[in-house]
Amino acid sequence: MGAGVTKSGGGGGSRRRRRRSGRAQPMSEINITPFVDVMLVLLIIFMVAAPLLTVGVPIELPKTAATALPSDNEEPLTVTIDAAGGVTIQTTQVPQDQLVSRLRAIAEERSDDRVYLRADGAVPYETVAQIMGALNAGGFSSIGLVTDIGGPSLNAQGN
Instruction: With respect to residue 157, please indicate whether it lies within any of the assigned structural domains.
Output: no
Same domain, 77 and 142: yes
What is the spatial order of strands in the sheet that 142-146 belongs to? 92-94, 87-89, 77-81, 114-119, 142-146
Instruction: With respect to residue 58, please indicate whether it lies within any of the assigned structural domains.
Output: no
Final residue belonging to a domain, choices 14, 30, 51: 51
Instruction: With respect to residue 155, please indicate whether it lies within any of the assigned structural domains.
Output: no
Total number of domains in the chain: 2
N-to-C CA span, the chain: 58
HEC assignment per residue over the chain: CCEEEEECCCCCCCCCCCCCCCCEEEEEEECCHHHHHHHHHHHHHHHHHHHHHCCCCCCCCCEECCCCCCCCCCCCEEEEECCCCCEEECCEEECHHHHHHHHHHHHHHCCCCEEEEEECCCCCHHHHHHHHHHHHHCCCCEEEEECEECCCCCCCCCC
Instruction: With respect to residue 125, please indicate whether it lies within any of the assigned structural domains.
Output: yes
Same domain, 36 and 15: yes
Instruction: With respect to residue 138, please indicate whether it lies within any of the assigned structural domains.
Output: yes
**pLDDT score for 44:** 93
Task: Kindly report, residue by residue over 54-108, the tens digit of the pLDDT.
Answer: 666 677 777 777 776 665 566 778 899 988 888 988 888 998 888 889 988 888 8
Same domain, 19 and 90: no
Query: For residue 30, what are the domain limits?
Result: 3-51
Same domain, 16 and 93: no
Same domain, 47 and 68: no
Same domain, 134 and 75: yes
- Model confidence, pTM: 0.52
Q: pLDDT exceeding 70 applies to what percent of the chain?
A: 74
Same domain, 38 and 112: no
Task: Kindly report, residue by residue over 111-130, the tens digit of the pLDDT.
Answer: 877 889 998 888 888 988 99
Would you say 135 and 115 are in contact if contact means Cβ atoms under 8 Å apart?
yes
Same domain, 42 and 108: no
Q: For residue 99, give the CATH number of its domain.
A: 3.30.420.270
Instruction: With respect to residue 10, please indicate whether it lies within any of the assigned structural domains.
Output: yes
Would you say 93 and 86 are in contact if contact means Cβ atoms under 8 Å apart?
yes
Same domain, 67 and 144: yes
Same domain, 67 and 142: yes
Question: How many Å apart are CA 127 and CA 148, to the nearest integer?
Answer: 20
